[in-house]
Chains A and B, each alone.
Chain A
């Protein structure tokens, strides 16, 4: 059964018009160019119908409600606990399943070194020190990483390609993505982003939705913990500076 959307409607209209134009021009008018135009309409209708079937049934507004509800709940916990430390995005190998973000409960001037998998609990221990506990939460990036066809390799090019595929092809939330890696720092530039980032306490701790997606993919690509150093939004550009834990990546 075809789901009703603008692509399907346009495809069906072009299909009917294309068939009529082709038949009339072949058998009555004997005009080759008009028959060819009818065939072009048919080709476009096939493309529209096949793409129309892949449009999600959930409207962007409904998706935004679900996203906001999830974020609000985690934001309440983070704000209630008074956590001000930056989240550390862990790859799936360090969480035992899916990439997640660890928010240390105690602020630490230096990044804690996480070398072994943390336990799959909301409050997780990540080190031997009694203060080494944090909140292990799922973010937008956790879900988005599962949409990748394969895990990207640990190079800036493969990372950029994976982000382009996700943000342009799958989610349709940006126009272009550029990645620059230097030392163990990665600068990601997203052009014309269509997801807004607020400046709440929670966002300063975990980063905006786009930064969260970018950081989760980076953690998976390099298979190391990654933190957001800075994110900036100015005139149709959104830049995210990341720091990969451990030795230099470039």
Chain B
């Protein structure tokens, strides 16, 4: 399954590069790391439009899970600002 390997490699390389760059610029907030990871994973998943229906369904579940975490972080920040 060449398309699977290429997708996994793309996501892995992007997450690794993001970590290196954010460490390099001295980023110390876990929220920023997570938010960028999620955005990258979602964008790459959308770019791979030729996945089979079964694979896309599975990846949609992962996307919902990751987006749930992203929403949690945003709501925490909003609560922090409001209180």
Which residues of A are in contact with B by a Cβ distance under 8 Å? Answer: 7, 32-33, 35-37, 39-40, 43-44, 46-48, 50-51, 53-55, 147, 149, 164-165, 168-170, 172, 175
A39's partner among B12, B23, B33, B62 (CB-CB below 8 A) is B33
**Pairwise interchain contact B52-A170, C-beta atoms closer than 8 A:** yes
**Pairwise interchain contact B15-A44, C-beta atoms closer than 8 A:** yes
CB distance from B62 to the nearest CB of A (A): 5
**Pairwise interchain contact B50-A51, C-beta atoms closer than 8 A:** no
Query: Which secondary structure dominates where chain B touches chain A?
Result: helix
Given contacts A47-B8, A172-B3, contact A32 B33 (CB under 8 A): yes
Query: Which secondary structure dominates where chain A touches chain B?
Result: helix
**Pairwise interchain contact A169-B3, C-beta atoms closer than 8 A:** yes
**Pairwise interchain contact A50-B8, C-beta atoms closer than 8 A:** no
**Pairwise interchain contact B62-A50, C-beta atoms closer than 8 A:** yes
**Pairwise interchain contact B41-A55, C-beta atoms closer than 8 A:** no
A54's partner among B18, B28, B54, B65 (CB-CB below 8 A) is B54
A43's partner among B15, B22, B29, B30 (CB-CB below 8 A) is B15
A51's partner among B2, B8, B18, B49 (CB-CB below 8 A) is B8
**Pairwise interchain contact A149-B50, C-beta atoms closer than 8 A:** no
A98 to B18, CA, bound (A): 49
Interface hub of A7, A46, A164, A169 (most chain B Cβ within 10 A): A169
Given contacts A47-B59, A50-B62, A169-B52, contact A39 B34 (CB under 8 A): yes
Among residues 1 to 22 in chain B, which have CB atoms less than 8 Å away from a CB atom of chain A?
1-4, 7-8, 11-12, 15-16, 18-19, 22
A69 to B54, CA, bound (A): 28
**Pairwise interchain contact B28-A53, C-beta atoms closer than 8 A:** no
**Pairwise interchain contact A175-B37, C-beta atoms closer than 8 A:** no
**Pairwise interchain contact A164-B62, C-beta atoms closer than 8 A:** no
Query: Given the complex, which residues of B lie within 8 Å of A53, measured CB to CB?
Result: 58
Query: Given the complex, which residues of A lie within 8 Å of B37, measured CB to CB?
Result: 36, 39-40, 43
A176 to B1, CA, bound (A): 14
Closest 5 pairs (CB-CB, A-B):
A50-B58, A169-B50, A36-B33, A40-B15, A54-B54
**Pairwise interchain contact A47-B23, C-beta atoms closer than 8 A:** no
Selected A-B contacts with CB under 8 Å, 14 pairs = A36-B22, A36-B34, A39-B30, A39-B34, A43-B37, A43-B66, A44-B8, A47-B59, A50-B62, A51-B7, A51-B59, A165-B49, A165-B50, A169-B51
A109 to B22, CA, bound (A): 69
**Pairwise interchain contact B19-A46, C-beta atoms closer than 8 A:** no
A147 to B51, CA, bound (A): 12
Query: Given the complex, which residues of A lie within 8 Å of B23, measured CB to CB?
Result: 33
